[in-house]
Amino acid sequence: MERKTRIEIAKPGLDGHDRGAKYIARALKDAGYEVIYTGIRQTPESIVATAIQEDVDFVGLSLLSGAHNELFPRVVELLKAEGADDIIVFGGGVIPEEDVESLTKKGIQAIFRPGTPISAVIDFIESKKKTTAA
């Protein structure tokens, strides 16, 4: 039996704009993945604890408050500290172009900026998921 791909969709930080996160959660469900949706105002700690308990393959972070340069890398660091750096982190939201490179360097494997079609996210997951199969 094929291993199902599991994805956590989480919103770190304090902004309550969850339409993007909900949209992506629903679209990934429709694409056949199992999506664990944790809702708004999550801390990097709660996101990482959830990722480990749920044994996810991916963590998708959505942020519109501007704190992505602090919070996204923090999630990657905490996963590493837990020995769970095989979990792939990607992000989305209003993220300026000039931040993308430094975020990628810090281990966020993809950044999806406003206007990205959902197929780009699915392509990313499909290209990465094989390497995460246990």
Residues lying near other proteins in the complex (CB under 8 A) are found at 1-4, 25-26, 28-39, 42-43, 45-46, 49-50, 52-55, 82-84, 134
Residue 95 Cβ vs other proteins, minimum distance, rounded to whole Å: 24
Nearest approach in angstroms of CB 98 to other proteins is 33
- In the chain, which ranges are continuous DSSP H helix? 19-30, 44-53, 68-81, 97-105, 118-129
16 vs 39 by CB, closer to other proteins:
39
Which residues, listed in sequence order, are joined to residue 92 by a DSSP beta bridge? 62, 112
3-state secondary structure of 58: strand
Shortest approach of other proteins to residue 24 CB, angstroms? 11
Of residues 19 and 105, the one with the C-beta less far from other proteins: 19
Nearer CB in complex with other proteins: 45/101: 45
Contact criterion met (CB below 8 Å) for 60 and 26: no
Q: Which of 57, 55, 58, 15 is nearest to 39 (CA)?
A: 15
Q: Which is nearer to other proteins, 31 or 100 (CB)?
A: 31
